[in-house]
Structures are given as C-alpha cells and as structure tokens.
Structure 1
Amino acid sequence: MAPDMTTLKGKPFSRAEIEGLLRRTLFYTPSFEIYNGVAGFYDYGPPGCALNANIIDLWRKHFVQEDNMLEVDCPMITPHEILQTSGHVDRFCDWMVKDPKSGEILRADHLVEQVLEARLKGDKEARGQATVQVDDPKKKKKKTHGAAQAVKLDDAMVQEIEEVLAKIDNYSGPELGELMEKYDIRNPATGNKTTAPVEFNLMFQIPNIGPSSSLRGYLRPETAQGQFLNFAKLLEYNNGRMPFASASIGKSFRNEISPRAGLLRVREFLMCEIEHFVDPEGGKKHARFHEVADIQLNLLNRDVQLSGKTDITRMSVGEAVEKKIVDNETLGYFLARIQLFLHEIGCNPDKIRFRQHMASEMAHYAADCWDAELQTSYGWIECVGCADRAAYDLTVHMKKTGQPLQVKERLEEPRTVEFWAAETAKKSFGPRFRKDASAVQAAVDALTDDLKEKLSLELKDAGKITLNVPGVNDGKVELTSDLITIERRTRTDNVRTYTPNVVEPSFGMGRILYALCEHVYWSREGDESRAVLSFPPKIAPISVALYPLSSHADFKPLIARLSTSLRKQRVHFAVDDSSASIGKRYSRRDQLGTPFHITVDFESVKNMTFTLRERDTMKQVRAGEKEIVEAVVNMVNGDETWEEVQGRLPTFETQEVDE
C-alpha cells in the first residue's frame, strides 16, 4: 500500500510532479499538441491504454459478470428527438459567466468555489504568521487581484464562507450571481468583474445526420438512453424475468465550459453505466443485499451539507438503508459494490466518501442520488454517480413513442384494482378539434391517476378542465363536461402491468484513473527522485519486466524462454535490455507501476534460476523458471500474495546499484 498522498515519507505532495511523471511516461498527453492543442482533449499513451483497459476488464468482471448483466453497445450519435424527450435538450446545462474585457468564459460555481477557497487559504496563511509583516514600499508586490493574498478574515466570515462552500452544489444560477455580488467574486486572472450567470447546454450538437439537414442530433452526453430504448428487447431476451440489469461501456461527450483540471474535466470521456431495472413495489429490495449489509461507508448526507458542514458519518450500508439515509436496498447494494470495486483497483479507502445530492442539484430524473467521491490534490472529485432514476426515462419514451416499455406479470390470483378513467365523447370530440384531435387525445391518454383524480373535481365543480397540449391553441386546451368524463372505476386484473424503476451507477473512468494514480504515487525514502506507482498487480499496465544483466549472447535464449512462458500465460511483460544499471532500470519500471521484475544473471546461465523482485518492498526471491512464472501468474490473477510467495521460495539478498 502506498503512503498517504499528502506526505510522501516526509515530502509534501506535488501535483506538478505526478502530472509531469504521467505525461513524461506517456500515460496521457494533450491531444493535437503539435497544433497547439484544444482544451479538454487528451490522448492515452501505451501505459495509459493498458491501465485503462485493465480497469475496464476488472469493472466488467466485478459488475457485469458478477451480477449477470446484459451488456449492450449503442451509437454515440443520438437523434435530437430522443434527447428532447429525455429532457437533456432543456435541462443538461451548467451556469457560465464571461469576463467582458478579456472574453474569457468561466463556469460560475467553479469560479465562486476557487475564489472563496483561495481566501480561506489566505486567512490560514495570515493566521500562521509568527510576526506582523510590515510592508516595504521598495519591494514590488505581485499582483493577485484579491484572490489569494495572506489576509486574515474575522471568524464569522470564515464560518460563512465555509458554509457557502459546503453548499456550493446546491445553488441555482441566480443564487450564484448573488454570491458573486456579495463576495465581490472576480476573474482571478484579470481582476475583472464578470457578467451574470447564464445557462449553457453541455451537449455537442450535430447539425445534420446524413446529407439532408432534416435530422439533427447530438454526441451523446451519457450511454444510458440506448439502454432505455432497448428495454423491451432486453426484457424479452431475459425471458421476461425481473429484476435485471443492463450495462454499457463507451465514449460520451460534454462541451465543458472551461476544462482546466487535466483528466478530471474533459470533453470526451469513457463511461461505464449500469441500468438496474426493478419492480417499484416492495421497497426496491435486492436479493443479494445481505451480502454487503455490513460494509462500512463514509457518508455525507444532504442534511449535513445544508447545515453548512462536511462532516462524515461512518456506518454500515445496512444501517443507512434501515434509517432511510440511503433510500432503498438496491441503491445501497450498488454503493457497497462501488466501494469494493474502488478498493480492488487500489484506491485509498480513507480517501473515498459518498456524498448525497441536495435537492437543487439533483438531476431532473432522480429520486435519490449519491456520488462516490475520491480525494485528490484538486479536492473531493465525483467519480461515480449512483442515482435512483425512478420510472422517468421509460415513462417519457413510452409516452412519446407509444411503445409498451413495461413489464406484464401474470398474477397467481386475480385482483380487483381501482383506477380513474378519462373518456372523450367520440361523436363531438373529433368535430370540435378537427386536425388537433389526435394531439388532444394523446394528452388525455397521458394523464396520470393522481392528475385524473384532481381534474375530476375541477370538472365536477366548474364543468370544464384545461389541459397542456403543446402546439395546439398556444398550448392550452379547454375540455367541457360534454367532451370528457372522468370517473373512478374498478377492474379485475389477471395480469399486472407496471413500469420498472431504475437504479443507475455511472462511472467516469478517466477521473477514476487519474485519482487512482494520485492515491498510489509515492517516492523512496532517502531518494525522493525515485517515484513509484503502486498499482495492484491485476491492473498494472505491465505485469512484469525482464532484465538481462549483460548483453552476452548466452542471456538471449533465457530471455526468450521466459518470454515464451509468460506469453503462453497471457501475462503482459516487457524486456529492458538497455545499458543502464539494473538499479536505474528497476527505477524506470517502478515509475510505470510494474509490480514484478525478473532478472537474468550469470547464475541463471549456470543453473537456470532467476530472481524475482517485488516493486514496493524491493525484496527478491530466487527459483527456477517454472516456479518464478507460476508465482507471477498467481499474483497477477490475485490467487497468491507476495508474502505467500516469499514464504515458499528462497529469499535472495542483494543491493540495488544505481551507478
């Protein structure tokens, strides 16, 4: 396990160092760089691709295979009508502001957060000064535009700012504008005041699909919609059985306002999403919830945030569901499974928390939502969202298309059901509305039971009701009692028909990858230049490196033998036969996160034994080819630990030399 990221064995954590390492070793690099680049786009190099692929492979095993999910792969281009129906066209927005003098565009909530956090930092620095500093008029001061100076704030202001920051995700656009006025929030780069916040839709629009401009579309902002549109087919594939889950892995796109945090805020990114379809009756219980009920989670619920605090409550997921802090078992099951996955890929358990969405930041479809956040040098970063989307998506697509995105369940015994029926008078309805009759009828058919009950009272009292019918008579249509009747009826059902609810875990894999790199990054004690990335063996970009200690011809057949053995076992390996010292070669591979190293030396030529070095401890064992390869395969597959290997293979004592 790597040490705490905030102190690398006494050395302060440096974001510049780890980002420099990741770019230098080609984990990732800015896209289009020789053309000066475009913000928010990055290329993964060989180790980044391998790390990403291994994390995805583990995700698929941990979720898709473990719970027998139905995986689908849908187009990245989505027609306008679908995202209009889902609500993304109208609601998938962030608030932006503009510096009128420089023309710079900034995201409003991030600007407020950045400036207020800088002021709190300045206050801490001012309070930490041992003596009063006297300004020297001869010294030229660096211009900081009032954002980050060491200026002491009074205690009341500190508390007030901390409360604002705790609720930063809960503010609307107008409320962010009020905060900017109240605290004189300016662009830190220029000191200029900005415009008031305005909404900006984050989707990339495609003006036309095909040679005609009649069909508009967008690059998808999520992979979920394709899963909802295929619900009926997936239900049939699953032999009509409920509950079940679908899953999708693929690229999504968001036209970020001002992407400035490396892989944490990009415009094209990989998502892994799950849609777990569940019967809304019975409290959304989960058959395997008992397996995870005792898992402890770090929870930051909405009530704590609204009180202006960020205090964590640690409790079992079973207790959280029992107390209704987490809404239901299915949601709780996935929170626990998400945490287990993050642990398995190597994230620091102390730097994982689950934050509940507050009311105003809740997505338009969500009944409850928790974010799995990972602590990084950028602060707490949302990496996984886990939302109870209720029946929103299937309902809106069903109403729009008329397709039955529902479950039909045969009842063991017939049951009597009360319902509200709304019927139009066919003889007078058609002549009254003529060409608009079908649109008005569709609005009547779309009424929910609750709304029908309310409208029945209006119809009884006033003799008329008003419906919202887009595109007809300015959107308002009046129906009198001679055109419509609404009454309560009963029926006997042999089949129950219902629209499933959906619980959706949604993973931003680029964010997880970067946060993981920070969590596993450290440096050797006594030699801070020797950085290490302690990836778990099962996800490391390269599992093992082979080192011939000499360029002598006798070493080549041995390297070839080891390579063949590892290749047959599907172990990803690399050969480093450079002229650098063995210590420097080890160090280079430590920076890439390679967990195991096999060295071929002159003893190997004599007796066919090899040394196996473990990255974090630098301890070594020595054995024959079969034993060494078997140990590597077992550790990469998670069937054996390094401690167990040390216990059964002879220890090899040596000292690494960097000369």
Structure 2
Amino acid sequence: MLVGRLTLVSAPRRQLPTYLTSLLYCVKRKLYSERTMSSVNKTAHAFDKTRFDALLNRRFFYAPAFEIYGGVAGLYDYGPPGSSLQANIIAEWRRHFIVEESMYELDTTIMTPAPVFEASGHVARFADWMVKDTGNGEVLRADHLVKNVLEARLEGDREARGQATQVVAAADDKKKKRNEVKSTAVKLEDAVIAEYDSILAQLDNYTGPELGGLMRTHAITNPASGNPVGEPQQFNLMFASSIGPTGQHPGFLRPETAQGHFLNFNRLLEFNNGRVPFASAQVGRSFRNEISPRAGLLRVREFNMAEIEHFVDPLDKSHPRFSEVADVELVLLDKYVQAAGQSTTRIMTVGAAVKEGVIANETLGYFVARIYAFLLKIGIDGKRLRFRQHMANEMAHYAADCWDAEIQNSVGGWTECVGCADRSAYDLSVHTAKTGIPLVVRQALKEPIVEEKAVAEWDKKSMGKTYKSEAGLVSAAVTALDEAGLMKLKDELAKGPTTIKAEGKEFTIEPGMLTIERKTFKTSVREFTPNVIEPSFGIGRILYCLLEHSFWSREQDVERGVLSLPAVVAPTKVLIVPLSARAEFDPLVKEVSLRLRKAGIHARVDDSTATIGKRYSRNDELGTPFGVTLDFASVQNRTMTLRERDTTDQRIGSIDDVIGTVIDLVQGSIEWAEACQRLPAYDGVQAVE
C-alpha cells in the first residue's frame, strides 16, 4: 500500500565537532548546503508496516498495558508523544466544534446505574455476535471471522492468477507471537468471486443467524486452528459492576458518553433559556468488553470518545450555517449500493446529497461536512477517507439515519472512526417513560392554535363501581384511541353497550358511563420532544490512522521514518538545537526556549552530543515540524536558522524574526511558502568572529 505522498527531500545537515573553529564550521556548512540543494529529489515509498510499528514502539507512542505482567488484550498505555498527540487532537476538536459551534461542554460520570441502560436499550441490544472454536474454545467475533476468511480466499485467487501475494497474520495474544496463515493459492470461479464480493459489501447488514448460515454454506472455520466454529451467540459488550458496599445497586461502565447528556437535558435546556436548537459536547472514557481485540488501537476495551448531542426541533432540521458547507464534496457509499452487494462510491456535494435525500436532513449533512473538515485539518489523507451509510439491520436501535466516517488503514481496511447519527427522539422519550419526568421543550406560540377534537369524559362513580381496580386500564385504552377511533366508539355507544379490549381482556362499556363530544381547544404553548443529531468520535482510532497516514521514509535513510504530522497536533512543535554545549550558548538557548513556551508553543531542547543530522532525524520520527539551530554566529549576530521537517529546507534570520515566523507557522496563520518569503534561504554563510 502506498502512503500517497510525494515529498521534496534533501540530505540532513551534518554536525561538525564543536572543537573546530567557527570559520571552518561555516565553510563546511556552505559546501554541504550547495551540494544538497542541487540534488533535491521527489520520492514516494511503499508503506512499511514493520518499520512503522517499530517506530511507534521505539519512541513509545503507545504500548500494551500491564506488559511486564503479560498484558491484557485491548488495553493500551500512551507514552509521552502519544499522550501529547491525543491531547492535541482533543484540543483541536474542542476548538473546531465546542468553540466554533458554541456548544456546552459536560463531564458526566463513567459509572452508571443499570436502570439507565435498561431504559436506553443497551442491556438488551448493545451486543456483537461471537462464535467459539469447537476444538480449543477460542472466541471469535463472527463478522470479523467471515470477513477475514473470505478476504484471504480472494487474495489466494489473486495469487493464483499471478496478481498479488499477501500474508494474512493472526496474533496469538497469550504467547505474543504472530502465526502466519498464508492464503491458499486457489483459483476461484467467477461466480464465487462475485458472491464473496457481494457478502463483504453488505457484511454489516447480516444478523447472527445469517452469519451462521454463511459459515456453513462457505465452510468457514477458524483459520488459526482449522477447527469448525459453533453457531453465533450474542455477547453484551458492557462491563457490569455494582455500586455500594453490598452491591445492592447494579451498574455498568458506560459504553458511550451520550446518556449523560440526555439525563441532564432539562438542566441544559434551562441553561439555553428554554430554546432549541443547541448542542452539548463531552470528551471522556468509555468501555466496551470487545470479544477478540486484535487490531491495536482500532479495537480496544477502554478508550476516549468525543461526542456531541445536537438537540433540534423534529419539525425543523435545517441548519443556519448549512450554506457554508453545501458545496463541500464528499465520497459517499450509501445503503442502497451496499444492499445490492456493491461497494462503489460516488462523489457528491453535501447540498446535493441532502436535496436528493441521500443524507436525511440539513443538520445531519452539516455535521458530516464539519467532521470531514476536522479530519483533514488534523492530517487525515482525504483520498483515504469516505462516508458510509448504515444499512437497515446494521442501524443502531436508536438511529433514523447514520453515516460513518471510515478511514483506510493497513490493519482494518476501511475502519469506522466517526459516527454521525440522527437518533430521532428515542433517548429522551425512553427516559421520560422510565422516570415519569418529561424531557420536553415547551415553546410559546406566536399565534395560538385553535383546533377541535373529540374528548372522552367518564362517569367516574359508575366507572369505578363497574371496573374497580381495572378502571385505569380501561381508561388508558380509550385515551389511546385516535380521533377516528373515538368517533367510532361514540357511534357504537349511541346504539347501546359496546366493548373495548385492553391487555388481552374485553370490557363492556354502557352508554351512560362514557360521553364523547367534540370540543374546541386553544393552545398557546407547543410541547415536543426534540430530536438529536449525534457526531461520535473514537479518538484512539483517529490517532492511529493519522499516524499511518503521516508515516514515510526518506530515500537517503529508509530505516528511519518521518511522521509528517501537522503542527496543530504534533506533540512537539519546535526542536531547539544548539550547535555546542559550551556555556556561551546557554543564554540564547534559554531565551529562545522561554519565548516559545510563553507563546504557548511546545519546544524541546536537544543538546546531546549526537550530530545535528541525527538529532533532527530522531525528532522527524516524533513528527516535530520545525527545528531551529543556534550556532557560533548566533552568539555574535543573534541569527538563527529554521528547518522545515518534510523538505528539510533551511531559512535564516534574526532570532526575533525566526521566532515570530515560527509562532505564525504553528498557529496556522501562514504556510511554509510564506515563511520562505519572509526569511532568506540559508546558504551556509554567516559572519563569525
């Protein structure tokens, strides 16, 4: 797989021994600069997963948690660069959404009482389908097993046809080994290939029993052992717990942050002066007891989510800023294409997609476009990003429409990293029904609504005497009738006694017990349950895909990688490289470092004895976008060179000018091309004493 990057590169600058004279240093740097600037190449390298993983491990972006105890699958710790990268992604998410969209930020609890998730449907429905190896008891996720086996067979067909060779690896979590299962080079019939492609295109739409049928029909077994697997069974993904010393209050670790928004809806509504639309947002930990987490950060059991709940009038899902994104072009894979067994995408503007009903409404389309802009801004490759619509069986129990931002990567192929769903009024409605506390909007009408409707009035004395304890049941059955039903009941009562059914029982109603009349009502307040548009971000998945998309190697040094992270999310923004460890450099190093840090820019000093080239190279691995070098001329002339990571281009200027330029670059107010207009190219010559 190619990373899709063409980059201008030049050989790293060489560090001369610090004991050489300043003159010799400058002469040699000039000769080196003239040589390298005349040999700039355009290069593109194939993505090397082995080197990429080695870089992440060596530089401690993240690592398996509890590693010295043998580790636990699906749990990871972030190291210094990984923690900073994650924090910067979240900070930009806050700026992009909470600040720019004027949202209200929440921080709600992780531990949640069981009744909350019983009402929301998570206890009954938040599950995946799993199968067990009948020989060794290994547990596998059913849809992933079908996907991996069919893709391996298709790869074997391509190998047999001489088109490609690929090794499909399966990890043994207990022994921490990688057992290689090579796809068998067998040529498939064209009809079988078409069937496999069709299954893979709509895999997310299959139910558990249908997955079981696919495994039987296509003789799918556990590729690691060759053993058959049992029938798919549902496995609830929530971690169960209890609250209190005696465990009298069952609870769960939340699998999402959303319920905290809904339970606080009335307070949020009051905070927004009783009006919709408005949005609340939250970043926090969530927990899912994944069946077989074997894909690094793409499938974990504890992770950070960033979620938005945008509350909107169900009769008006327009968005005031929709015109700003209407012309944004997106790569879309809609549900109808998938249901037909295909995976052909099409490019549409957001405006056209909403107008044609491909995306359900303006607010949903607006947030899809905003998600797209955010992912591009932090460095996701737009050519490896698409939006896929959920199919009918795949749709979450609460959703009316849902689009996933899927990012292509070497581990999971097209992987869901952001979901954007229209949750309709489901959540607020079920919590209202469970608690009896209305989670609704009461909106004063400019013009009162006058309407005539049928009203049922009981003779309560006669009703209570006849139905006794079941009176409420009969009353509720009549109240549930619509206008036509009430008028039909009125006609029946005019002819004599009639009957009504409630919870499987039949009750007789006498004409004198119930009167149904049409009455005129004047309404000055409209009461409604708002709908919710929810963008939900998996921070860890985005972080991993960003690292993959940013990774490449220079032609001169393929063993060392480069992470071309945008400055907005890079863990360290600027590397400060003093040429010498001599005391005369200390004041300048402290000055530059302090000025950058006071400007809010994370700068790091590398005053090790390694050559300048090595110091820059190992910080290129960390994604540091800019480097400044203080040399002997800096001490005398207060000049400083500025290096850009991807091109290794070098500029020179006064310390004040370079710092000002770096601040503008990091803050995003200028691009490198403008920085090159401000600062002259470094030619290797500086005045020295």
Separation in 2, partners of 1:456, 1:114: 60
Indicate whether 1:319 and 2:382 are aligned. Answer: no
Check the 8 A contact 1:108/1:176 in 2, yes or no: yes
1:343-399: CA deviation from partner (whole Å, max 9, x where unpaired):
110111111111000000000011111001111112000011000011111111111
Corresponding letter in the other structure for 1:241 = R
What amino acid does structure 2 have at the position aligned with 1:609? T
**Displacement of 1:646:** 0.7
> What CA RMSD, in Å, does the superposition of the two structures yield over aligned residues?
2.7
CA displacement at 1:434 relative to structure 2: 7.0
Alignment partners' CA distance in 1, 2:45 and 2:641: 31
**Mapping of residues 480-559 of structure 1, within 5 Å:** 480-481=508-509, 491-559=521-589
Counterpart pick for 2:417 among 383, 388, 394 = 383
Offset, 1:20: 2.1
Amino acid across the alignment from 1:495: V
1:24 CA drift (Å): 1.5
Match of 2:217 in 1: 182
Specify whether residues 335 and 18 from structure 1 end up closer, same or farther in structure 2 by C-alpha distance, changes over 3 A only: same
Q: Following TM superposition, by how much is the alpha carbon of 1:12 offset from its aligned partner in structure 2, in angstroms? A: 2.8
Residues 291 and 484 of structure 1, relative CA distance in 2, 3 Å threshold = farther
Q: Structure 1: how far apart are the matches of 2:506 and 2:548? A: 61
Equivalent pair of 2:398/2:423 in contact (CA under 8 Å): yes
Change over 3 Å in CA distance of 1:324–1:421 after alignment to 2 = farther
- Provide Cα deviations, 1:125-152, integer angstroms capped at 9, x if missing partner: 110179xxxxxxxxxxxxx999721111
* Matched-pair identity in %: 55
For residue 210 of structure 1, what is the aligned residue in structure 2? 244
Q: Secondary structure at the match of 1:178?
A: helix
Residue correspondences, number: 628
CA contact (8 A) 2:474 2:502 kept: no
Residue 195 (structure 2) aligns with: 160
Partner of 1:139: none
After superposition, give the CA deviation of every residue in 1:541-586 in whole Å (9 maximum; x if it has no partner): 0000111112222122211111111121111011111111111111
- C-alpha separation in 1, matches of 2:416 and 2:282: 20
Higher Rg of the two aligned structures: 2
CA spacing shift, 1:327–1:495, aligned 2, 3 Å = same
Q: Distance in 1 between matches of 2:590 and 2:605?
A: 10
- Write the distance in 2 (CA, Å) between the matches of 1:258 and 1:307: 29
Distance 1:330 1:120, change over 3 A: same
1:22 Cα offset (Å):
1.2
Matches within 5 A, 1:51-90: 51-90=85-124
Matched, 1:261 2:291: no
Which residue number in structure 1 is paired with residue 676 of structure 2?
646
For residues 83 and 362 of structure 2, what CA distance do their matches in structure 1 show?
A: 35
How much does 1:44 deviate? 0.6
Paired residue for 1:13?
A: 47
SS at match of 2:221: coil
* Structure 1 Cα separation of the partners of residues 509 and 427 of structure 2: 33
Question: Aligned AA for 2:414?
Answer: W
1:646–1:366: structure 2 CA closer, same or farther, 3 Å change rule? same
Classify the secondary structure of the residue corresponding to 1:530. Answer: strand
* Contact kept in structure 1, 2:278 and 2:312, CA below 8 Å: yes
Give 1:36's aligned amino acid: G
Mark the runs of 5 or more structure 2 residues left unpaired by the alignment: 8-41, 165-178, 493-497
Partners of 2:333 and 2:599 in 1: how far apart? Answer: 44
Kindly state the Cα deviation for residue 19 of structure 1 after the two structures are TM-superposed. 2.1
Can you list the C-alpha shifts for 1:55-101, whole angstroms capped at 9, x where unaligned? 10110110111111111110001110011000000010100000122
| Alignment gaps of 5+ in structure 1 | 131-143, 468-475
Which amino acid letter does the alignment assign opposite residue 408 of structure 1? R
CA contact (8 A) 2:51 2:561 kept: no
Structure-2 change in CA distance of 1:497 and 1:558 (3 Å) = same
CA contact (8 A) 1:620 1:652 kept: yes
Q: Say if 2:625 is the partner of 1:589.
A: no
Cα distance in 1, alignment partners of residues 475 and 541 from structure 2: 43
Aligned to 1:118: 152
Q: 1:263-342 alignment to 2 at 5 Å?
A: 263-282=297-316, 284-342=317-375
Aligned to 2:380: 347
Superposition deviation, residue 4 in structure 1: 1.3
Where do residues 592-611 of structure 1 align in structure 2 (5 Å cutoff)? 592-611=622-641
Residue type of the partner of 1:178? G
Shift of the 145–244 alpha-carbon distance from structure 1 to 2, 3 Å rule, reads closer
Counterpart selection for 1:150 from 154, 179, 185: 185
- Residue 73 of structure 2 is aligned to residue 43 of structure 1: no
Contact 1:610–1:625 (CA under 8 A) maintained in structure 2: yes
2:286 to 245, 248, 252: 252
Q: Deviations over 1:145-197 (max 9, x none)?
A: 99721111011100110000000000000000000000111001100001100
Runs of 4+ with >3 A deviation: 5-11, 144-147, 417-438, 440-447, 452-462, 476-490
Shift of 1:489: 6.1
Q: Give the C-alpha shift of residue 17 in structure 1.
A: 2.2
Check 1:437–1:319 CA distance in 2 against 1; reply closer, same or farther (3 A cut). same
Q: Structure 2 length normalisation: TM-score?
A: 0.86
Q: Tell me the TM-score normalised to structure 1 length.
A: 0.90
